[in-house]
Amino acid sequence: MRIERRHQRQEHLTDERAALEAMTTSVIRQGPVCAPNCERATCQSCSRACPYIPQMLSSDPNTHPLEPKIAPLAFEIKKLGVFWPCWSCEGHNDQHNNLLKTPAVWFYASSVIHLRVLGESIADMSYENRLSKPWQLRLCFSDSDNLSTTFSLEPVLNGPEATLCALQSDIARIAEEIETRVMRKVECMKGIV
């Protein structure tokens, strides 16, 4: 069976163009990324290597700072300017050194096209064997009293067993490459709409 493409109204295409443009023109990409009042953030020093990210990105920095190995990825996702991280985990092993919790960053998004760009960029990394496991975007929900939908960037754990060390290496690689890949994908999609 073949299904015809959905006919898009001009307003919809205009909305998609605007959403793509928002990714390339986001002010947050220039910094400060974590918080507008970060005194340590200047255009020269605001980066995923900043040791203050775990506290600055957290809404409860003293009790619940971000874990240090996932903080750079949460930073880079927020730096894209169209996603708002709300929860993260760097992954954990159990007492027998087996994977207990997988790494993930949960975030809010306001546009499906932004999710598509991010998802395709992550998928490209998997296709190019840049990651130990494929990673995916997953639809989630946050709290039962919160109607806002969240999404998760996390590894797909099928096939051979994943190690925490390998998944944390993936975190670092995604954080390093995601902005460049997303911006390249945005430019390609701008040619479509």
pLDDT tens by residue, 5-40: 666 666 666 788 888 988 888 867 777 888 877 776
Does a structural domain hold residue 5? no
Does a structural domain hold residue 1? no
Does a structural domain hold residue 149? yes
R_g over Cα of the chain = 17
Residue 132: give the domain boundaries: 10-190
Does a structural domain hold residue 4? no
**65 near 129, Cβ under 8 Å?**
no
**103 near 155, Cβ under 8 Å?**
yes
**138 near 152, Cβ under 8 Å?**
yes
With a cut of 90, say whether residue 80 has pLDDT above it.
Answer: yes
Does a structural domain hold residue 35? yes
Does a structural domain hold residue 114? yes
Burial 160-169 (b: 16+ CB within 10 A, else e): eebbbeebbe
User: How does pLDDT run across 150-185, given as a tens digit for each residue?
Assistant: 999 999 998 778 899 999 999 999 999 999 999 999
With a cut of 60, say whether residue 137 has pLDDT above it.
Answer: yes
The more confident residue out of 30 and 87 is: 87
Does a structural domain hold residue 2? no
User: How does pLDDT run across 29-38, given as a tens digit for each residue?
Assistant: 777 888 877 7
* Residue range 47-72: mean pLDDT, rounded: 93
Does a structural domain hold residue 3? no
Our count of domains for the chain comes to 1
* Residue range 71-98: mean pLDDT, rounded: 95
